[in-house]
Structures are given as C-alpha cells and as structure tokens.
C-alpha cells in the first residue's frame, strides 16, 4: 500500500529539484536565525546563495551529537518559541539528552512519514494497531500513534511494559498489527508461550519493528512465533523519530522519506561522501523542518544507499538494514566487533535463544577478555552436562571463526538475561580505558 504515490513514486529528477529548493530555503533560514549554523557556514566559507545543485550539499558543514549537547536545550531552535507545539528527547544514557522541538508543520511531516511507514507494511483503516513503543519523551509511541491516525487505523496506545495486559488486549481486541522493539516482540512471544496463548492462532498478521539493531534471523523468529510479516522501520529522535525510512513489501532495504530527510553516506574518518553501495556513516539533512532542523547530521549508524529501482514502484532511495553503529563497535584486542555479528552467528546455532549479553573486561594480563552469556532453549538446558559442554565449545568455535577473536561462552538458563521493554542492552564494557 503506497500512502502518497505523488511523492513516493515521483520521477527522480523532479524530486531532486524539490530537494534543492528546500535545501536553499533551509540554509537561508539557518544562516539568518541560528548563530551556531551561521558561524559554521562562515568557517566553511559557504553562503546559502552558493548552493546551485543538490550535490552542493557536500559543501555544507556537518552537525554532530556533541553539537546538539553543547546547544542544549534550545540553541538550535530555528523559529520563535511560540511556534513550538511538542518536544521529544532521546533517553541520553550519557550526558545531556538530545532535544527535538516540533512546530505544527513538523508534526505534519512526522504524520505523513509515519503514515507512509505503516502503509508500507500493509496497514489500512481496517487495522487495529497495538502500539507498545514507549509513550512520553521517547519518539516511538507518539510517532506510530500519529501515523496510525493519519492512515485511519484504530490505535491501542499501550506503551511498553505490563506484559500480561499486553497479551490480554492482543487476544481480546484482536489486534492485527504490533509495533514495538524487536526484542520486546520476542519477549512478549515468550510470555505468551508460558501463559499457553497460541499467538499463531490470533488475528495479528504484521508488525513494524525498529529502534534497535536486529538480524534477519531474529525477524524469522518473530515471524514464526506470531505467524506474521515483520517489517523493519528506522528513525532517530534528532531527525523526527521513527518514520525516516521503512521497508515496503519487497523488503529489500528501507525507503527513505527523502523529500523530507536527505540522506548521504560518508567515510566516518575523512567525511568524504561515498557512492551508492558503499558502506559508511549515514548522514541526514532535514530539508523541510522548522523547529530544530539539522544540516548534515552524522547519525553514527552504518549502512549503504541502494539506488536500484524497487519492485514496489516507489522511487525513493533505500538504505540497507543497519550494519551497526560507529560508536557501539567494540574493539577487542584490536579487532573490530559489532554486537550484531555476534547475534547473527548465534541465531544460526541450534539450541540457543537470541538472548545474549557481551561482557568485556580487561584481565590481569591487561588483555581484553570477553564473556558471552547465551541463553539456551529449555529442553537443551535440562539436557545432560555433556550436551551442554558440547554446545558451549561449539559456540566458542563458531565465534572464533566468524569474529577472529576468542571469547569465553557461558550458557545460562532460559529467561535469565534481563528483558527490556524498550531497547535491549547487549553489552557491558567494564574496561577502564
């Protein structure tokens, strides 16, 4: 289902023209209203009038998360306060949270982006959307809510947590669509199994999952447990929240709502813009935002742009499912390791659950040591000790061959790793570096 064919299927050159006009307008606004951006543009020796083609975007300065923190709370606001109608913030595990301030027009952009996102997953006005993303300062709850209203679906604003009630509502209201983090979807499924609820027999038939990294294997597991189709959705607080990019039925990458959010991929070390297909750091410019628009915001997410036409008919460029983040890459004894690689390897090993915790420490020898705690399936755990020992050493071998590092595997009981109702925590790094 294509929510807005006029924009989503627009001829590419026509879209570039609109993007250039919006970029010029944005640069003018930021230059005249936001001292931070005026200074940055002056330092880079570029004026808004120097933008003649959309590729000139490369001449504009980047914005980083640190810039947002330094300008907390209102330093990047580009309109008068009385035009702001809503605010969201990231959880900000370290330092100050990042703030996004929305005008009415920004909310309209969000509603449209999320309506396209949910429609991409087949949502229509006939659907009942059980929205278990957190409501509050986090963008997940509100974003899906606005999108569902725009599509005309019925939305159940559950927020996260209270699993028992979630399952009751899922069953009693016959929800047809589930929206939450992929890890929470799996947790709900585990609890349903425990409570003797057969999810496969319920009307739930599709879901939009995002806000954290998840593998294709995790997707297969969710689809199997619910007998549903699971779609990947991407976004971040700084840009709008969810709704930046989404999968269509072809599921060959996520379509970027690029009339609103202009994507680039750069080499994270040099800042050089890379070509389609090349892996690097994803950067966004919020072409049409008013409250807190951003120029070339460095997301730290690693992916590549896919330019080939998509079978669905949309002409927007896509981004590949995320490969990881520049900042959650672990460097273990000099080797770069992403938690997503560990997860991918793990799900291929029979007998394990996709629940794991990576604990990194620095031992007496000053070498990095990694303990990988892995939950095993119930029937395997009650197996004889020798079976468990074999499984343990198999995981160690697989990790060694896939990651090129040795780590110690500890098998743990089903459900012993703490579940999260939002984003899952996969890494504890105890190294004092």
Give the N- to C-terminal CA distance of the chain in Å, as an integer: 50
Q: Is 99 in the site for ligand DLL (CB under 6 A)?
A: no
Taking the complex as a whole, how short is the minimal distance between the CB of residue 268 and ligand DLL, in angstroms? 14
Buried b / exposed e across 209-245, counting CB within 10 Å, b at 16+?
A: bbbbbbbeebbebbeebbebbbbbbbbbbbbbbbbbb
Q: Is 105 in the site for ligand DLL (CB under 6 A)?
A: no
Residue showing the smallest CB distance to ligand DLL in the complex: 210
Q: Which of 26-34, 192-200, 211-219, 329-337 is the region at the interface with ligand DLL (rule: CB under 6 A)? A: 211-219
Q: How far is CA 323 from CA 213, 254, 318, 327, in A?
A: 8, 13, 14, 12
Buried b / exposed e across 357-369, counting CB within 10 Å, b at 16+?
A: bbbbeeeeeeebb
Q: Which of 63-71, 185-193, 227-235, 392-400 is the region at the interface with ligand DLL (rule: CB under 6 A)? A: 227-235
Q: Is 31 in the site for ligand DLL (CB under 6 A)?
A: no
Q: Which of 157-165, 206-214, 376-384, 388-396 is the region at the interface with ligand DLL (rule: CB under 6 A)? A: 206-214
Cα 371 → chain centroid:
26
- Give the x-and-dash track for 59-98 against ligand DLL (CB under 6 A): -------------------------------x--------
Q: Is 291 in the site for ligand DLL (CB under 6 A)?
A: no
Beta-bridge partners for 302: 281, 324
Taking the complex as a whole, how short is the minimal distance between the CB of residue 305 and ligand DLL, in angstroms? 16
Residue 304 phi, psi (nearest 5):
-140, 160
57 or 213: whose CB is closer to ligand DLL?
Answer: 213
Prior bond of 73 cis (ω within 30°): yes
Q: Looking at 213, 222, 265, 295, which residue binds ligand DLL (CB under 6 A)?
A: 213
* Sequence-ordered strand ranges (E) for 33-116: 84-89, 99-103
- Give the x-and-dash track for 140-159 against ligand DLL (CB under 6 A): x-------------------
Contact 142, 100 (CB under 8 A): no
**Token pair belonging to 336:** 């770069």
373/375 Cα distance (integer angstroms)? 7
Taking the complex as a whole, how short is the minimal distance between the CB of residue 247 and ligand DLL, in angstroms? 9
Q: Which of residues 381-420 bind ligand DLL (CB under 6 A)?
A: none
Token pair 């799996």 is found at 186
Taking the complex as a whole, how short is the minimal distance between the CB of residue 65 and ligand DLL, in angstroms? 10
59/82 Cα distance (integer angstroms)? 32
Q: Is 211 in the site for ligand DLL (CB under 6 A)?
A: yes
Angle ∠(353,357,363) on CA atoms, nearest 5: 140
Taking the complex as a whole, how short is the minimal distance between the CB of residue 253 and ligand DLL, in angstroms? 11
**Token pair belonging to 254:** 């996520």
- Give the x-and-dash track for 292-331 against ligand DLL (CB under 6 A): -------x-x--------------------x--x------
**Token pair belonging to 21:** 């006009």
| Interacting residues with ligand DLL (CB under 6 A) | 90, 133, 139-140, 210-213, 232-237, 241-242, 299, 301, 322, 325
């Amino acid at each position: 289902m294509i929510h807005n064919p006029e924009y989503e299927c627009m001829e590419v050159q026509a879209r570039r023209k609109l993007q250039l006009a919006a970029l010029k307008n944005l640069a003018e606004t930021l230059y005249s209203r936001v001292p931070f951006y005026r200074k940055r543009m002056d330092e880079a020796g570029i004026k808004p009038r120097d933008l003649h083609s959309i590729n000139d975007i490369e001449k504009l300065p980047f914005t980083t998360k640190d810039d947002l923190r330094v300008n907390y709370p209102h330093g990047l606001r580009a309109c008068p306060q009385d035009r702001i109608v809503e605010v969201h913030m990231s959880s900000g595990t370290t330092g100050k949270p990042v703030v996004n301030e929305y005008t009415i027009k920004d909310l309209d952009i969000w509603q449209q982006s999320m309506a396209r996102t949910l429609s991409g997953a087949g949502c229509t006005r006939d659907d009942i959307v059980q929205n278990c993303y957190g409501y509050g300062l986090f963008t997940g709850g509100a974003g899906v809510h606005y999108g569902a209203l725009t599509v005309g679906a019925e939305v159940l604003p559950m927020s996260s947590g209270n699993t028992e009630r979630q399952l009751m509502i899922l069953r009693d209201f016959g929800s047809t669509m589930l929206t939450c983090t992929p890890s929470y979807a799996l947790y709900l499924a585990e609890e349903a199994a425990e409570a003797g609820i057969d999810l496969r027999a319920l009307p739930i038939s599709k879901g939009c999952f995002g806000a954290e990294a998840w593998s294709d294997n995790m997707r297969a597991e969710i689809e199997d447990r619910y007998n549903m189709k699971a779609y990947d959705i991407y976004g971040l607080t700084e840009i709008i929240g969810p709704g930046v990019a989404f999968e269509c039925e072809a599921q060959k990458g996520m379509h970027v709502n690029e009339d609103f959010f202009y994507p680039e991929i750069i080499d994270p070390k040099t800042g050089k813009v890379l070509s389609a297909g090349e892996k690097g750091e994803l950067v966004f410019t919020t072409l049409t935002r008013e409250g807190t628009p951003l120029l070339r915001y460095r997301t730290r997410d690693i992916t590549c742009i896919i330019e080939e036409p998509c079978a669905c008919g949309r002409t927007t460029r896509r981004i590949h499912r995320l490969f990881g983040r520049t900042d959650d890459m672990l460097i273990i004894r000099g080797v770069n390791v992403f938690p997503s690689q560990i997860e991918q390897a793990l799900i291929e090993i029979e007998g394990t659950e996709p629940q794991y915790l990576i604990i990194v420490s620095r031992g007496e020898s000053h070498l990095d040591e990694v303990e990988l705690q892995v939950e095993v399936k119930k029937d395997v755990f009650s197996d004889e000790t020798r079976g468990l020992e074999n499984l343990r050493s198999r995981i160690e071998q697989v990790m060694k061959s896939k990651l090129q590092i040795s780590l110690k595997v500890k098998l743990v009981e089903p459900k012993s790793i703490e579940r999260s109702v939002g984003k899952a925590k996969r890494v504890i790094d105890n190294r004092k570096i």
